[in-house]
Amino acid sequence: MRVLDADDVTRLLDMRSCILEVEQAFRARGAGKLASSSVAGLELVGGSLHAKLGALDLSRVYAAAKVNANFPENRARFGLPTIQGLVVLFDGLSGLPLACMDSVPITAARTAAASAVAAKYLARIDASSLTFIGCGTQARAHALALPHVRPIEHVIVFDEDLGSAHKFARELRARHLAVEVAASVRDAACAGEIVVTSTPSRRALLDVGDLRDGAFVAAVGADNEHKQEIAPALLRAAAVIVDDLDQCSRIGDLHHALDLGVMRREDIRASLDQVVVGAVPGRVSDKEIIVFDSTGVAIEDVAAAVLIYERAEDANFGFLMGVKSAQH
């Protein structure tokens, strides 16, 4: 089994390739090929564990299990990252463990890659203004991903931690982008044609009237049933595309709308895989608001992990650790 640390993963996983591989994973699912996924969670004191498992039939059948620990107070309490974890990649036919790798750069890249795939099909073709609500790791990954699919020229940022917003703004200005720091969530949201929400919020941040006509929202913060970024009324008024309908119904922003009876599963326009293969139209007018409810699907992790593993094999990255099979 090949073991890869965060530096190895970062060197091997470029954003353009990640976007292409994640798009292919959704295309495989939409075409009815093996692209299965499952999720589990466990609440802990001060945090939680999230497990995502998936399988894809690519050059061969691969499966992966990702376990992330999410402890929002880690930085202040222990000087540790909020999210830590591992991805284990398996041969999907024999179950042989092929690689174990740091999950943090994978999670950041594949989440942003999925949003970029969604924006490719769902954002207005001329969208050039981009808003970030939340200025952490995911915002930085999305800032790398979205310019691959839309001509981003103007960026608006907002974070409840004003220092974080200004730090992120300085980083973006160093890349020769026009950046402004918004005074409120609403000011930020109504300024962007593409809006990325990536916060740990447990209450809705965006509601009806907070977005401009034609906006595309990538809502990536709600990855368990306790989190929420998008108000049910806004979901009801918008066209909603999900990464996985069952998963979003349980742990995404969608589940709040379903629980309140504001929406039914039948009200969802499509899942991203259906849009990618052309089975269901994505955007149907320049004025409609589209929300992508992104809970993070395990096939994204498999796609990214396979790309990393195959490149690591070719370049002999990481180190090899023997794995002995056991029979019980």
Is residue 12 predicted with pLDDT exceeding 80? yes
Mapped onto helix, strand or coil, the DSSP state of residue 203 is strand
Is residue 75 predicted with pLDDT exceeding 90? no
Tell me the average pLDDT across 10-22.
Answer: 98
User: d(Cα 307, Cα 113) in Å, to the nearest integer?
Assistant: 13
Q: Which residues pair with 41 in a beta bridge?
A: 50
Which of these is catalytic: 52, 66, 120, 227? 66
User: d(Cα 11, Cα 75) in Å, to the nearest integer?
Assistant: 25
Is residue 230 predicted with pLDDT exceeding 70? yes
- The pLDDT tens digits of the residues spanning 126-185 come to 999 999 999 999 999 999 999 999 999 999 999 999 999 999 999 999 999 999 999 999
Whole-number pLDDT of residue 62? 98
- The pLDDT tens digits of the residues spanning 237-286 come to 999 999 999 999 999 999 999 999 999 999 999 999 999 999 999 999 99
Whole-number pLDDT of residue 72? 85
**CA 127, chain centre distance (Å):** 20
CB within 8 Å of 308: residues ≥ 6 apart: 4, 8, 9, 12, 13, 99, 101, 106
274: enclosing H helix or E strand? helix 272-276
The per-residue pLDDT of the chain, averaged, comes to 95
- The pLDDT tens digits of the residues spanning 82-110 come to 889 999 999 999 999 999 999 999 999 99
Domains of the chain, each with CATH number or no CATH:
2-106+299-320 (3.30.1780.10), 122-296 (3.40.50.720)
User: d(Cα 169, Cα 179) in Å, to the nearest integer?
Assistant: 6
Secondary structure of 44-105 in the HEC alphabet? ECCEEEEEEEEEEECCCEEEEEEEEEECCCHHHHHCCCCEEEEEEEEECCCCCEEEEEECHH
| pLDDT confidence band for 328 (50 / 70 / 90) | very low
Whole-number pLDDT of residue 226? 86
Whole-number pLDDT of residue 323? 58
Whole-number pLDDT of residue 221? 92
Closest to 290 in 3D by CA, of 244, 246, 241: 241
Closest to 64 in 3D by CA, of 50, 53, 72, 74: 53
Q: Out of 61-70, 87-96, 98-107, 318-327, pick the least confident.
A: 318-327
Whole-number pLDDT of residue 172? 97
Q: Out of 52-61, 224-233, 319-328, pick the least confident.
A: 319-328
Closest to 67 in 3D by CA, of 103, 110, 18: 103
Is residue 44 predicted with pLDDT exceeding 70? yes
| pLDDT confidence band for 324 (50 / 70 / 90) | low
Is residue 43 predicted with pLDDT exceeding 80? yes
**66 is known as an active-site residue:** yes
| pLDDT confidence band for 322 (50 / 70 / 90) | confident
Pairing of strands 2-4, 35-44: unpaired
Is residue 71 predicted with pLDDT exceeding 80? yes
Is residue 4 predicted with pLDDT exceeding 80? yes
Closest to 133 in 3D by CA, of 161, 110, 113: 161
CB within 8 Å of 128: residues ≥ 6 apart: 150, 151, 152, 153, 154, 193
Residue burial 180-202, b: 16+ Cβ < 10 Å; e: rest: ebbeebbebbbbbbbbbbbbbbe
> Which residue bears the tokens 């409810």?
293
Among residues of the chain, what percentage have pLDDT more than 70?
98
| CB distance 145 to 206 below 8 Å | no
For residues 72 and 130, which has the higher predicted lDDT (pLDDT)?
130
Is residue 325 predicted with pLDDT exceeding 50? no
Is residue 186 predicted with pLDDT exceeding 50? yes
